[in-house]
A and B are shown apart, each in its own frame.
Chain A
Amino acid sequence: MRKFLFVFPLAAFVALVGYFAIGLTRDPSVIPTVLINKPVPDFDLPPIQGFTEGLSSEDLKGEVMLVNIWGSWCVSCRIEHPQLMALAEADEIPIMGIDWKDPPGEGAKWLERYGNPYAKIGDDAAGRAAIEFGVTGAPETFVIDKRGRIRYKQTGPITEQIWERDIAPVVRELRNER
């Protein structure tokens, strides 16, 4: 019986190895959002320079829509942009934009140059609204349901593949909800 006591430290070691092995497969830069299923945080952003309408949390209910955090300084947003334009032009889903930490005028210039996929845009120069959304970088996109709750978060650019595989199914399901 004594002989088998060695099993305990061995078992503890194996358990630790298991934990570490699983941990190594995770990407620490992708932080799961804790806001899933929570209502959109309250915010009220002014329009960006050159526009008359801003964006507030009141606008984020009634139908399934996307909230996209972007900035003219953000290289990955430039990469994502054609996909957003395609979605906007096909009338797939309303896209609301939050212009994050952009100097005045830069956001409008960028949209002028590349095209504007957004139904409404809020100017978040101070970055406060983004922090309410738990944003860690741009681009990030949130899928909002009809009742104004955050249901899905996409960290990083939306590619065609990511749209088809991950986001479109979520949107379809949400549209079937009341």
Chain B
Amino acid sequence: MHRYAATRLAALLPTLLAVSLLAFALAEVAGGDPAREAAEQGGQLAEPDLVTELRTRWGLDNPLPIRYARWLSAAARGDLGKSYLSGRPVTQELLGAFPATLLLALAALAVAAGAGIPLGVWAALRRDSPLDHLSRVVAVSFTAVPGFWLGLLLIALFAEALGWLPAGGFGLDTHLALPALTLGAASAATVMRLVRSNVLDVIALEFVRAAHAKGLAPGRVAWRHILPNALVPAVSHLGLRFGDLLAGAVVVESIFAWPGVGRIVLTAVSGRDLPVIAGFVLLSGCVFVAVNLAADLLCAALDPRIRLP
């Protein structure tokens, strides 16, 4: 397992190189003039001389390979440069906000797993009952509902009408509830259906019948024997889904005024703030690889049959 983890971590570097180069190339293809976007902030008219001066200051007149090489050289020393739009160091911009996004994504993951897994098991054990049918209808609904609409609906209900939860803002308390629920609801629905399907497959296997025949309590059979075998695909799915949660957090952060990295990146993309875009790509690449590694290791722990290379 240690060797496997080390091999995966060693593959992180070429992965990051590839995605950062891709980010630079895509920004080039997307067009736009970062100097003009920066100069026109606040609705000002961009004087051509001023735009030229900024372009020269930031080396934007240089060809893409030279700009990438300079960025890479600085990044290797831990310097991701400064935002063209705000002037703040990119590391400060991103590392200041990324924990909030990570917290939200992890909370959403907890909602997805915490709701999806038990509900999936429960629905499978009551297969074809009215409640099973109802749970599947609800799951499909949550998968189909747009996140921003669900968020606004939850705010209208729990904040405006009932006053139980805050409408937005940051906090490790009740402030996390609605954003996490909004972001995790669709994932919870998918996990529920996945777990239900896997549990039904596992229930049909002989070793489960053998466990019942031995006289084990149904609950013990479900949680000790069925669930570990049914969970592996769900855990793998959650690991892959984490990237979507990070991306989906952008909309949820905006609705709930959650001070994460999503809004910074949105502003950077529309303003062609290349240092921030590149820095975000690096950061999210690292997180994504780490989370998927954790998912793989967890799968191996759940199922001893899985042999890590």
Real complex partners, A and B? no
